[in-house]
Amino acid sequence: MDPTMENWLPITSSRNAKWWYSAFHNVTAMVGAGVLGLPYAMSELGWEAGVTMLVLSWIITLYTLWQMVEMHECVPGKRFDRYHELGQHVFGPKLGLWIVVPQQLVVEVGVNIVYMVTAGQSLQKFHETVCESSCKEIKLTYFIIIFASAQFLLSQLPSLNSISGVSLAAAVMSLSYSAIAWVAPAVKGKSADADYGLRATTTPGKVFDFFEALGTVAFAYAGHNVVLEIQATIPSTPEKPSKKPMWKGAVVAYIIVAACYFPAALVGYWDFGNQVDENILVTLEKPKWLIATANMMVVVHVVGSYQLYAMPVFDMIETVLVRKFRFRPGLMIRLVARSVYVAFTMFVAITFPFFSALLSFFGGFAFSPTTYFLPCIMWLRIYRPRPFSVSWFTNWICIVLGVLLMILSPIGGLRQIILRAKTYHFYQ
């Protein structure tokens, strides 16, 4: 790509990040709306399957994250700064684009839509908690629009490094509300009517709920779609390759992820059983000041996380507009293109505000390939480990589990969307 173009695009315009940028960017990318849905997923899976799925997903995704970091500079003297560039190296210039870009776009656009819904719900919950019965009820639609208005402004920040402050604040907020999500139920104690039987009562319901829960867990481990883009902001030389600081930050991030996910999922389910809501913060009612604070923390986190996932999309849009349609790089192209994108995600979020169903559908449909098994396929094609070696077996196990996840979990999410759409009145 043209060096001038590279210096203008948001992913590669700045390469002065340190290892701790990797840590908080990865925390911001990973610990998001998904953690709030984990207790609900546990109520659909039960203790044994739920704990197994949580631990297995943590191990598999840490392994595939390491693969992504290693493959960033697998060709001496060349950096694969974007997921699709690595895909093109492995599968060919055209096939690589068709394999990676649609999946990556579904993930990143899907996350942005879900985060619009999440922020709207959290703002609504904050409003209801603070006002109680003294304020007029405001529709979810308006809260989503309020959140989107902030994104219209932040989307004009030029590069991934320029949102570092926002991302750091988001990472701190994600840690804080994750802690509240499990400390508050722990202090409150187990509910008297907590029932650990599966949420559904019929066999088909249990099966579909199981599929939906798989997608919710997959959504929670979704940071891989921006890993190469994060690593692209770190300087690299033959003596000091970018993979060392990147991996150091990623390990710190994954320790933080475990400290957020496991307590929130297990304590939330232990407290409320199968009566837990799809968003754990919605289930918690007291103390009101703490719940109100936690919901505002979610909003601040999602403000940063939305930008982290939107930046690679902006990079793709601006590349196409400049290279294919011959637009001149500049302020106007960014203002129009990015504003249109934010408006699109806002419109879809307002139209389909089904939080847990959206988590499951997007989690299975696109997160599974890009997080669970596409890195393994690329690894096998680049490094060609000996058949039946440990590396070969490990990668094929991840591929099989990831493909099963991709096939099964969208079924549960799509069923939930259909069921809720029957009784849902649009834009009310």
| Continuous segment of H or E residues that includes residue 308 | helix 288-323
Per-residue pLDDT at 89:
95
Pair 415, 212: CB distance under 8 Å: yes
Q: Could you tell me if residue 271 is inside a domain?
A: yes
Residues in the chain: 428
Q: Could you tell me if residue 295 is inside a domain?
A: yes
Per-residue pLDDT at 46:
87
Q: Could you tell me if residue 280 is inside a domain?
A: yes
Q: Retrieve residue 403's tokens.
A: 């493909």
Q: Could you tell me if residue 317 is inside a domain?
A: yes
Q: Could you tell me if residue 349 is inside a domain?
A: yes
Q: Show the DSSP H helices in 9-46 as ranges.
A: 19-30, 33-45
Structure letter (DSSP) for residue 226: G
Answer left, alpha or beta for residue 75, where phi above 0 means left and psi between -120 and 50 means alpha. Answer: beta
Q: Could you tell me if residue 160 is inside a domain?
A: yes
Residue 90 domain boundaries: 3-423
Contacts of 10 (CB under 8 A, 6+ apart): 158, 159, 160, 311, 314, 315, 318
CA-atom Rg of the chain in angstroms: 21
- Written as tens digits, the pLDDT of the chain (428 aa) is 566 677 778 777 678 788 888 888 888 888 766 787 888 888 888 899 899 999 998 999 999 999 999 999 999 888 999 999 999 999 999 999 999 998 888 888 888 988 898 899 889 988 988 887 777 888 889 999 999 999 999 999 888 778 888 888 988 888 888 888 888 888 877 777 777 777 777 888 888 888 878 877 877 787 788 889 899 989 988 888 999 999 999 999 999 989 989 998 998 888 888 878 777 777 776 678 888 888 899 899 899 989 988 999 999 999 999 888 888 888 899 999 999 999 999 998 998 776 556 666 666 677 788 888 899 999 999 999 999 999 999 999 999 988 988 888 777 777 777 777 677 666 65
Per-residue pLDDT at 247:
95
Q: Could you tell me if residue 93 is inside a domain?
A: yes
Residue among 380, 398, 22, 70 nearest 226 (CA) = 22
Give the whole-angstrom CA distance, residue 317 versus residue 101: 12
Give the whole-angstrom CA distance, residue 41 versus residue 409: 12
The secondary structure of 320-351, three-state, reads HHHHCCCCCCCHHHHHHHHHHHHHHHHHHHHH
CB atoms within 10 A of CB 59: 12
Per-residue pLDDT at 69:
95
Per-residue pLDDT at 40:
87
Instruction: Read off the CATH number of the domain in which 284 is found.
Output: 1.20.1740.10
Q: Retrieve residue 232's tokens.
A: 């692209």
Pair 46, 198: CB distance under 8 Å: yes
Q: Retrieve residue 333's tokens.
A: 């192209």
Per-residue pLDDT at 188:
75
Read off the pTM: 0.87
Per-residue pLDDT at 36:
79
Burial label for 19, CB within 10 Å (0-12, 13-18, 19+), is middle
Q: Could you tell me if residue 428 is inside a domain?
A: no
DSSP annotation string for 277-293? -SSHHHH--SSHHHHHH
Per-residue pLDDT at 351:
86
Q: How many domains does the chain have?
A: 1
Give the whole-angstrom CA distance, residue 333 versus residue 323: 13
Q: Retrieve residue 399's tokens.
A: 């591929």
